[in-house]
Amino acid sequence: MNTDLGPPALSATAVRKAYGDHVVLNGIDLDIPAGSVFALLGPNGAGKTTMVQILSTLIRADAGEMRVAGHDVARDPDGVRAAIGVTGQFSAVDGLLTGEENLLLMADLHHLPRRERRRCATELLARFNLVDAARKPAMTYSGGMRRRLDLAMTLVGRPRVIFLDEPTTGLDPRSRRTMWEIIRTLVTDEGVTVFLTTQYLEEADRLADRIAVLHQGKLVAQGTPDDLKRQVGGGHITLRFADAHGHDSAARALDVLSRDDEALTLQIAGRGDVRSLRALLDRIDHASLAVDELQVHTPDLDDVFFALTGTPVAEQEPAR
């Protein structure tokens, strides 16, 4: 991590955006040092994509001041555009062109000199493990390959600030891991600043120097992954019951975080270490509860929201 005290790569003050009556962002303040990875964490529909679209000049904020790589977002959008790279949530590759042609297209649009453009494409193909597929149309690529090509295209022109909107959503676990490695090396090797959004606490934890949690248009927490995990506590334990009666009596006997009457499950706070598990099992025995199944969960986005807002994710935002 770069802790130089240069100007921040990205700053935002009191950013607001509403669509009609629906307030999507309600006073967002950010300060992201150059050379760091920042993760904006939140459930679907929390406004993460809107924030990326505003910072990357795709849409305008209703109010607020923002600077990206030294340029004012509202007054000098072209200055911002010249300094950033964006990988959106939906694949932004030209499916009819080959991987190589996609990269050359980007090189042309960045007005790279002729020799440079070839070299840049070849280098990125090798780096993103796309050499074998270089001459095939991008529409034939797998999800993971498409994402890699997408990110490679974002890197043409050496942007100083990179936006990644849910870079691993929809990828299989292996592709996700590859993506994580790529993102980390970007920061360590090239010193770029990365602004990423994610629904996964694990992803933010792995990648980010700082995390902010977006909830109903506001940042409800900001800090290092460790700060956040300390606030969140240690995840939860799920108990499943065979019948409604058992479910009900257990709900009365135990300290329950939340209950699901349809799935006949109860969530109980706890880290899943041996001592707290034993204590829980003792209480279950004591109350003669018939538990069908027990699962230990490491902290996830649900736990973050339980801890920070006291409501589960599902109740926060209507699905869109």
Partner 1 sequence: MSAAAHAFTDSATMLRRQLRHMLRYPTLTLTAAGVPVVFLLLFVYVLGGILGSGLGGPSGGRDTYVNYVVPGVILMTAATAAQGTAISVAMDMTEGIVARFRTMAIARVSVLTGHVLGSLTQTLLSMTIVTGVALLVGFEPTAGFAEWLGVIGLLVLIIFALTWLAVALALKARSVAAASNMLTPLMVLPMMGSGFVPTDSMPAGLQWFADYQPFTPFIETLRGLLMGTPIGNNANLALGWCALIALGGYLWAKKLYNREPTQ
**Which residues bind to partner 1, rule: CB under 8 A?**
19, 50, 56-60, 78-79, 81-82, 84, 86, 88, 90-97, 101, 105, 108-111, 137, 153
Tokens 């003792």 appear where?
282
Least CB distance to partner 1 at residue 154 (A)? 8
Cβ proximity to partner 1, 19 vs 310, nearer residue: 19
Q: Which H or E element spans position 22?
A: strand 22-32
At its nearest, how many Å lie between partner 1 and the CB of residue 104? Answer: 9
Look up residue 93 and give its amino acid: V
For residue 7, the minimal CB distance to partner 1 (Å) is 20
In this complex, which beta carbon is closest to partner 1, that of residue 108 or of residue 243?
108
Distance CA 17, CA 27 (A): 9
Rounded Cα distance between 186 and 194, Å, is: 9
Q: How far is the CB of 94 from partner 1 (least distance, A)?
A: 5
- C-alpha span between 41 and 196 (Å, rounded): 9
CA dist 198 and 172 (Å) reads 15
**CB closer to partner 1, 56 vs 267:** 56
Amino acid present at 303: D
CB of 145 to partner 1, least distance (A): 15
CB-nearer residue toward partner 1: 75 or 252: 75
Query: Which residue's CB is nearer to partner 1, number 59 or number 279?
Result: 59
Contacts 24+ apart (CB under 8 A), 225-232: 228/304, 229/205, 229/299, 231/307, 231/308, 232/201, 232/299, 232/303, 232/304, 232/306, 232/307, 232/308
What is the 8-class DSSP label of residue 317? S
